[in-house]
Amino acid sequence: MTGKGHRLSTFAFVAGATASPVAAMFSLLGSTFPDSSEYLIFGKRRNRYHRRYTHWFVPWLVLALTCFNRAGWIVPRLSALIDGREAHRDVWACAGFWFMGCVLHILEDAWCGTVPFLRPWKRDIGAHVFKMSPNFGELSNGEKVFIVCSILIAAISLAIRTLTLKDLVHFWNLI
Ligand SMILES: [Zn+2]
């Protein structure tokens, strides 16, 4: 999946799941790291190791859960980060969502290719739900559909979280 696809769908998923723009922003920042870490670690030899060790979900998930545990399982609050009250918990939560962005990157890659499951050197799980564009960095039609679906799912989940029954009755009375 392209960097743009990872950033958009990760932001949408986390915003829909947490309703926190801070959490969604930090996941977006982490969402391309499994790919960029390949350049940092393997340099020009990256193709030989593409989607192997860096795309094994276990270390990213352990780091995310460790940070969430230090945070006391809270969603980061912008107000706490600004006024500093108990802000260390929110900082841990931001780090947790950054690593969660890496976990989601791997899940997203598994939709259009294969990633390792139990053995980090072997790409053995994944579905080819949509095809990638042969041009590097270009969004294929399948990837566009995937991004639009993730944004729709996130919007529906946000609407369910924020709208109450009273709002619906009010809306019904208006029409
Ligand atoms: Zn990747």
Residue range 41-57: mean pLDDT, rounded: 91
Work out whether the CA dihedral 151, 58, 71, 88 comes out positive or negative.
negative
How many Å lie between the centroid of ligand 1 and the Cα of residue 10?
13
Q: Specify the pTM.
A: 0.91
Mean pLDDT in the chain?
A: 92
The confidence score (pLDDT) of residue 52 equals 93
Question: What residues contact 57, with CB distance under 8 A and at least 6 apart?
Answer: 103, 106, 107, 115
63 CA to centre of ligand 1 in angstroms: 18
| DSSP conformation letters of 93-160 | HHHHHHHHHHHHHHHHHHHHS-EESS-TTSEEE---SSPPPSSTTPPPHHHHHHHHHHHHHHHHHHHH
Number of CB atoms found within 10 A of residue 49's CB: 14
Mean pLDDT of the region 109-135 = 93
Average pLDDT over residues 131-155: 94
pLDDT at 65 over 90: yes
Query: What separation in Å is there between the alpha carbon of 1 and the centre of ligand 1?
Result: 6
Q: What does the pLDDT average to over 143-161?
A: 93
Q: How far is the CA of 109 from the centre of ligand 1 (A)?
A: 6
Task: Give the confidence band of 117 by pLDDT, cuts at 50, 70, 90.
Answer: very high
Ligand 1 being an ion, which residues bring their Cβ within 5 A of it? 35, 109
71-103 pLDDT tens trace: 999 999 888 888 888 899 999 999 999 999 999
154 CA → ligand 1 middle, Å? 22
Ligand 1 centroid distance, CA of 55 (Å): 7
Instruction: Identify the pLDDT of residue 83.
Output: 85
